[in-house]
Amino acid sequence: MAEIHGTLKTALYRGAQAGIQKYFAGSGAKGGSTSSMLTSRSGKLANSVLASAETGIDPPAPNDSMTLITASLGSSVPYARIQEYGGVAGRAGPFKKKSGRRPQLPPRPYLMPTMTDIAAKLPDQLKQAVSQAIKQK
């Protein structure tokens, strides 16, 4: 179980790393045009996703009884959700724009496509880890 947990942890981090590179279009200027892909100015959103790649194993010392392995990926930055799903940007009035309108941001998914990519590869990686663990016993 410890080897399977290690495989899951590695797969989650590598998958997140590949997804971030795949779903972020590079860098862009503040106030630039919006596209269907995210651009990065500071890298804070991408780094928060990579830092969140976490797996757990319960009980911490696996044995022959049932063991639970979990994985999570996300972001704690305040603007992560609006980038993933889109929506009205900014705070409600008073407005800084002369027109008094708040911009509508299009959805720029980065987290769900990354999780989909990871989920597609994970079964094969786990089968391989289980095979290796059985061979070593």
Taking only the tens place, the pLDDT of each residue in 69-90 is: 788 889 999 989 999 999 888 7
10 Å Cβ neighbour count for 123? 9
CA distance 40 to 30: 10
| pLDDT at 96 exceeding the cut of 70 | no
Of 62, 58, 53, residue with least CA distance to 10:
53
Question: Cα–chain-centroid distance for residue 102?
Answer: 27
Can you say whether the dihedral through the CA atoms of 118, 124, 128, 130 is positive or negative? Answer: positive
Closest CA to 108 of 18, 27, 38, 25: 38
Q: Any idea what DSSP says for residue 101?
A: P
Render pLDDT for 20-70 as a digit per residue (tens, 0 to 9): 888 887 655 555 555 667 777 788 988 898 888 888 877 766 666 667 778
Q: What Rg, from alpha-carbon coordinates, does the chain have?
A: 20
Residue boundaries of the structural domains of the chain: 2-80+109-136
pTM, two decimals, is 0.72
What 3-state class would DSSP assign to 21? Answer: helix
Helix (H), strand (E) at residue 38: strand 38-40
